Structure 1
Amino acid sequence: MGTHNHTHNFSQQFEFTGKPKTWSLIAIVIGIVAIAYGFLIDTSETHAERTFANLLLMGYYFTCVCAAGTFFLAVQYVAQAGWSASILRIPQAFARVLPIAAVILVLICAAGLFTHHEIEEEGVKVSAPLLYKHWATHGLADPASEHYDEVIAGKASFLNVPFFLSRMVIFLGLYSIFAMLFTRFSYNEDLEGGMNNYQKSFKYACIFLVIFGFTTPIWSFDTVMSLEAHWFSTMFGWYNFAAMWVSGLSAIALTLILLRKAGYFTWTNDSHLHDLGKFMFAFSIFWTYVWFAQFLLIYYANMSEETVYFYERWEPEFKPWFWLNIVINFLSPVLILMSRDNKRKENLMMFVAILLLCGHWLDYYMMIMPGTVSKHRTFGITEIGIAIGFAGTFAFFMLNALSKRPLVPKNHPFLEESLHHHI
Structure 2
Amino acid sequence: MSSFKEQFTPTKRFNTIALALMVVGLIAIVALYFSTHGSGIAEADKPKQDARFWASLLQNSVYFLLVVNASMFFICATTLAWGGWQISFRRVTEAISACVPIIGVLAAIILLAIAFGDNHTIYHWTDTHHVHDDPVLNHKKGFLNKGFFATVTILTVVLWSVLGYKLRAMSRQLDNNPLPSVEAGKKYMWKNTVWAAIYIIVFSLTIMSSIPWLWLMSIDAHWYSTMYSWYTFASTFVAGMALIALFVIYLKNKGYLELTNTEHLHDLGKFMFAFSIFWTYLWYSQFMLIWYANIPEETIYFKPRATGLYSGIFWFMFIINFIAPLLILMSRDSKRNYTIIAVVAVLIIFGHWLDFYQMVFPAISPDKVPMILYDFGVALGFVGIIMFVTGRVLSKHALIPKNHPFIKESVIHHT
TM-score range for the pair, normalised by the shorter chain length: over 0.9
The question of 1:200 aligning with 2:191 is answered yes
Within 5 Å, give how 1:78-97 maps onto structure 2.
78-97=80-99
The question of 1:253 aligning with 2:248 is answered no
Question: For residues 130 and 309 of structure 1, do their structure 2 counterparts lie closer, same or farther at Cα, with a shift above 3 Å needed?
Answer: closer
- Please give the root-mean-square deviation of Cα atoms over the aligned residues, in Å: 1.6
Within 5 Å, give how 1:100-179 maps onto structure 2.
100-116=102-118, 128-129=119-120, 131-132=122-123, 134-142=124-132, 148-179=133-164
Partner of residue 275 from structure 2, selected from 283, 288, 304: 283
Match of 1:213 in 2: 204
Question: For residues 210 and 113 of structure 1, do their structure 2 counterparts lie closer, same or farther at Cα, with a shift above 3 Å needed?
Answer: closer
Partner of residue 351 from structure 1, selected from 322, 339, 343: 343
Q: For residues 114-172 of structure 1, what are the alpha-carbon distances to aligned partners after superposition, in whole Å with 9 as ceiling and x for unaligned?
A: 333xxxxxxxxxxx33531x211231223xxxxx1111011111100111110111122
Q: CA deviation at 1:77?
A: 0.8
Question: For residues 137 and 95 of structure 1, do their structure 2 counterparts lie closer, same or farther at Cα, with a shift above 3 Å needed?
Answer: same
- Comparing 26-35 and 367-376, the one that deviates more: 367-376
Q: CA deviation at 1:315?
A: 4.9
- Of all paired residues, the percent bearing the same amino acid is 38
Question: For residues 255 and 292 of structure 1, do their structure 2 counterparts lie closer, same or farther at Cα, with a shift above 3 Å needed?
Answer: same
- Comparing 107-116 and 154-163, the one that deviates more: 107-116
Within 5 Å, give how 1:239-388 maps onto structure 2.
239-388=231-380
Rounded Cα–Cα distance in structure 2 between residues aligned with 1:397 and 1:259: 15
Q: CA deviation at 1:93?
A: 0.6
The question of 1:49 aligning with 2:51 is answered yes
Q: For residues 357-402 of structure 1, what are the alpha-carbon distances to aligned partners after superposition, in whole Å with 9 as ceiling and x for unaligned?
A: 0000001111111122354432243112111111111111121112
Q: CA deviation at 1:102?
A: 1.2
- Comparing 367-376 and 224-233, the one that deviates more: 367-376
Q: For residues 165-206 of structure 1, what are the alpha-carbon distances to aligned partners after superposition, in whole Å with 9 as ceiling and x for unaligned?
A: 101111222122211111000011222222244332111112
Q: For residues 314-341 of structure 1, what are the alpha-carbon distances to aligned partners after superposition, in whole Å with 9 as ceiling and x for unaligned?
A: 3543001111111111111111111000
The question of 1:36 aligning with 2:30 is answered yes
Rounded Cα–Cα distance in structure 1 between residues aligned with 2:147 and 2:358: 27
| Aligned partners of 1:58 and 1:390 also within 8 Å | yes
Q: CA deviation at 1:239?
A: 0.3
Rounded Cα–Cα distance in structure 2 between residues aligned with 1:317 and 1:375: 8
Q: What's the TM-score once normalised by structure 2's chain length?
A: 0.93
For structure 2, the residue ranges without an aligned partner over 5 or more in a row are 180-184
Rounded Cα–Cα distance in structure 1 between residues aligned with 2:313 and 2:250: 29
Q: What's the TM-score once normalised by structure 1's chain length?
A: 0.91
Rounded Cα–Cα distance in structure 1 between residues aligned with 2:213 and 2:62: 12
- Comparing 330-339 and 45-54, the one that deviates more: 45-54
Q: CA deviation at 1:265?
A: 1.2
Q: CA deviation at 1:70?
A: 0.6
Amino acid at match of 1:362: L
| Aligned partners of 1:25 and 1:392 also within 8 Å | yes
Amino acid at match of 2:112: A
Count of residue pairs the alignment pairs up = 400
Match of 1:22 in 2: 16
The question of 1:190 aligning with 2:189 is answered no
Amino acid at match of 2:385: T
Match of 1:124 in 2: none
